[in-house]
Structure formats: C-alpha cells, structure tokens
Structure 1
C-alpha cells in the first residue's frame, strides 16, 4: 500500500525488522533530545507480541527507529494490565523522551497515560486509548473502526440482497475497537430495515471462543444467513463452526483485521471479506511523529489520526499484498 493511503502522515522510507532494545540510557542534563545532546530514546509498550496486529505495529516502530537513528525500548505486557503499568513506570524511570502506547485495556491505558503525563513524557497512543478523556495525548493513531464496520456490513448486506438474518460476534466488551465496530455496523443496520439481528455474543477477539459462540447461535437459529464478526479470528471461528454443522454453504462470514490468514481464508472461500488494517504503518508513524516533535520539526499533530481500511474480497485478494498491511515479514500460506 502506498503511504498516500494514510492521512496526516510524515513521509519516510519503510525498512523492516523487529528488535527489543532494553539497554539503559539517560539523557544529559540541560540537553534537549536531538539537538546535540544524547540520543533520543523512545519507550514503547504494547499489549502483547502474539497478536499479528501488535507484532506488525511493533515492527513498524522498530523500522522507524532504525531509519531515524533513535533508540527504541520496546516492552510487551503479555495481556497483563498490571504488568503493562509496571513496564511503563520502569520506562519512565529510564528517562525516555516519548512513549508509544498500545494499551491492554482501559485500566492500563488510564494509569499509563497518567504516569507519563506526571513525568512530562508525551504519549503517542496507537489502536487503543483511555476512554472518557482520561489523560493528555500527543496524538491518537488508529483504524477508523466505525467506518470500517459500517462499510463492511453495508457490503455484506448488499451481497445478501438487502434482507436476511444475521448474528454478531463482538470483541472485548468496552474496548475502543469493540465500541466503534459495534457502532459502525449499527449505522449500516439503520439503512437496511430488512436485515434482522437474531443473535449477539462476545468472544474477546478469540477464534476458539467465537467457534463455541457460533455453534450456539447456529443451533438456536436454523435460518441464519450471515455472521458479522468484529475481528478476523472470530470470523474464521464462526465459519469453521458453520462448516462443522454442515451450514457453511450459502452463508456469509466477514471480519475486520486483514491478517495474512484471513487473506488465505478469503481465497479459499472460508470467509467472504475482511477489512484490512495498517498496523505496520501505524506503528511506524507513531515513532516518526514522536521524533519529529521532539526535534521541533513537522506540523502540529491532529488529536486523532484515523487510518483507512481496505475491503478485501475474492475480487481483489490476489492483487493486494498483505505485506503492505502487516509489514515485510507478513506471509500468506498460498
């Protein structure tokens, strides 16, 4: 994907690789970062390094740090909110110059931002953010999940001929993405009065949980036509449950993420569509903008920088390159 698909960005060449740089470094007294003093040090805290989204975002951060000649200290919370808060406090004591933050949940988000604010460390939030206006952010970079879900559901409803019964599998309740993706599909539903939601459940972005939820939904609704899942993993879980039940043919299954595995699933006909996000570019952008601001360069940042998604279907899955979305290490199996 070209950088032109990103809005309000600063151009920089893409380079690959992921490194966890954890060596200590403190800034010299009286010297501003990047103006002849010590090296700029960017702290980064991500929710985990298992999710392909977070892996790609971290790779983008490292690529930007390498290109710009700054140090990146990257930590992963392993989906533990308390651990993430501790890691952020540790980074702050190491005198980082800025924090790039993908929070595990609202608790970690609020506490992490508050700690950085107290230390006068600017925070560049990616993907997740504190709700209810908690804390001050330099900027918030994320997928436009409302638009992504609205466009995806609209596409699916059109494929269904504007009528039918659907099930919705939601992500972690109360998370930024879950709230926004639910809102987006609800906006699409308002335009299609003959689409009926007959079942809803949460599966916490997990394929196995979605498989079980879909089994129950299929059993309770013998005339179900489609599943809108708020993530790719959950869409695949629902599709596999329908296959196991002998109900897959003629049904629609869609998700949001654009994982390499989902590209494969679209090619194979397991699912019909995904909305591909740009985590690699978002992670890279956060570091680029943090460095530019620390050096006193670049334009004033918008408070919110929403990035577009791209609809992937059988019509374009073989021409779109998953590496444009999930970085140079992203691979399809076929």
Structure 2
C-alpha cells in the first residue's frame, strides 16, 4: 500500500519555492515561476511526478503553481488558461486526454510560453512542444506481453483492458502488445474492454470476461490499477492460475507481485520525469532551451517475482513511495 505522504498530496496551487519570488528576475522578462497542469492527483504516477517536480523546483529556487483537473478536460483547459495569465515562465503539462492536450498546447503557443509535455503527447499538427518526456510505452508493452506469452507456454486466450481510449499511453501500449501478438500467432485475444486506468472498472470488466471465457489464461492490463483489478476479480472467481500484468510499477503492484496476486509490471520512472521536466522548464526560462532534446523517452524495468525483492520502489516513485512487501 502507499503511505499517506504519497497519496495525500494537496492538489490546489502549491508552492515549491526555495526563497525565490515570482516575477521578473535581473531586470529581464524571465520569471522564476513554473506552471504545472496535471490530469489528476489520484494516479500514483501523477502524484510521484509532481513530487519530483516539487523537489527539483525547491532545490533550484523556483516556485511551482500546480493545478489538478480531476480528470475533467474542460476544467484542465480552463486551468491552463488561468496559469498562462499568471506570468509563468514555462508550463509543464500532463494532459487528461487529446482534447485537453490540443487546447493546452495551442494556448501556451499563443502566449509564447514554452510547454513541457509529460506522459501524454498531442498529435502532430496541434502545436509546438518545447520537449516531450515519457515512458517508451510501445517498447514496454511489447516486452511485457512477450514475457506474459512465455509464461503461457506460447499459446492460449488472453484479454486486454484498455486505458482511456485515444490517450497517448493507451495508443502506444495497445500498439506494443499488438506487435508482440503478431510474433505469437498461437496467442488469441478473445476479449477487449476499456477500463479507463481504473481498478474498479477493471474488476467489473474482468468478472464479465471470465464468465464469457472460462478458458482465459491471462489479462494484459494497460496500467497497474487495471492489472490489479483483473487479478482481484480472478481471485474472487477462484481463478488463481490466471496471469495478470500491468504497466506502471506502483508500490501496490510491487506488493501484489510479492504476494502472488499479480505476476508482472513494467516500472516507470515518474519521479525522475518530474525532475527532468522542471530542469527543462528552467533551461527555457534561462534562455538555454536549445540544449533540451525534443523527445526524452525513459526506459522501464520488468518487475516479476524473480526481482521484486531486490528492486526498490522508491527508485521509480520517489522517497515517499513505500510498499508493505
């Protein structure tokens, strides 16, 4: 489980100021304030990313203005526009979906504020990004599905639980598993449902899938929350043999693997991504944006029963991330 310091992060405007104040610095137009708009502060990934941002901003003497959209696209667009009126020097943006992503990037471009996109990427043609920081989700999903197929002995029926349709992670994770499926013709997808990254929705979807497909061997959850939901549904149905996997590396998933509830995850590095995003924002504010790469894909680590005890979850989700395992 996640301890309170990680899960109870305040989601109103937060300050990570190390003694610096917002406004023009050194007579120039640069401000030592960075705006941050995130989709929510319920997802452990986003919580850890913001904590990484806060730690880095405090260390560098910058202030953060953080807003959470509570998974509401309209609200996020409004929050982005509000941040852009507050003299922020750069905007770090974790969008709720493609609609919010497109509108947010356009607004930042019109305000001439560099935008650092994290995790979700607007489609081409929707505006200019200062940089894009994300997990290589295609690679991660392909590796995870290949591992899952090996555990199945190379044949059998699987189900796929999709995240929010049209989001960058959902598209890329679907693509990665599809690439693995092409190389494993004896693996059959017998059910696909959308569970929107949510454990409860995944639990309910898996209950229905297991009823219709009693010979199901495995579930690929495109996130840890969905992988956990699938595993809990399988346990309730007496299907402790069902293989359930996810992508994230949540502390709760580390626990699930340690306890034998779930079998694998691809651990992301959100805390590090948050730190990188702040460093990139500062580079742009200080006129050093040319040094920032346009795309920065971070690798994942496959976590299974073989290495879960030796891998430290705080490496991925920051010093406040703890597991009970």
TM-score, length basis structure 2: 0.92
What secondary structure sits across from 2:291 in the alignment?
coil
Query: How far apart, in 2, do the equivalents of 1:76 and 1:271 lie?
Result: 30
- Aligned partner of 2:23 in structure 1 is 26
Per-residue CA deviation, residues 26-77 of structure 1 (Å, 9 max, x unaligned), is: 33696142xxxxx511111111111111100000111110111111111111
- Aligned partner of 2:207 in structure 1 is 215
C-alpha deviation, 1:129, in angstroms? 1.8
- Tell me the number of residue pairs that the alignment of Structure 1 and Structure 2 aligns: 312
Matches within 5 A, 1:1-334: 20-21=14-15, 25-27=22-24, 31-33=28-30, 39-249=31-241, 251-297=242-288, 300-334=291-325
Structure 1 stretches lacking a partner, 5+ long: 1-16, 34-38
Structure 2 stretches lacking a partner, 5+ long: 1-8
Query: How far apart, in 1, do the equivalents of 2:71 and 2:216 lie?
Result: 34
Q: Is the 8 A contact 2:224 2:265 kept in 1?
A: yes
- Aligned partner of 2:6 in structure 1 is none
| RMSD of aligned Cα (Å) | 1.9
Query: How far apart, in 2, do the equivalents of 1:298 and 1:106 lie?
Result: 25
C-alpha deviation, 1:89, in angstroms? 1.1
Per-residue CA deviation, residues 254-278 of structure 1 (Å, 9 max, x unaligned), is: 1001000000000000010000001
- Aligned partner of 1:3 in structure 2 is none
Query: How far apart, in 1, do the equivalents of 2:26 and 2:287 lie?
Result: 19
Per-residue CA deviation, residues 283-309 of structure 1 (Å, 9 max, x unaligned), is: 110111111232234763222111101
Stretch moving more, 101-110 or 139-148 = 101-110
What secondary structure sits across from 2:196 in the alignment?
coil
What secondary structure sits across from 1:120 in the alignment?
coil
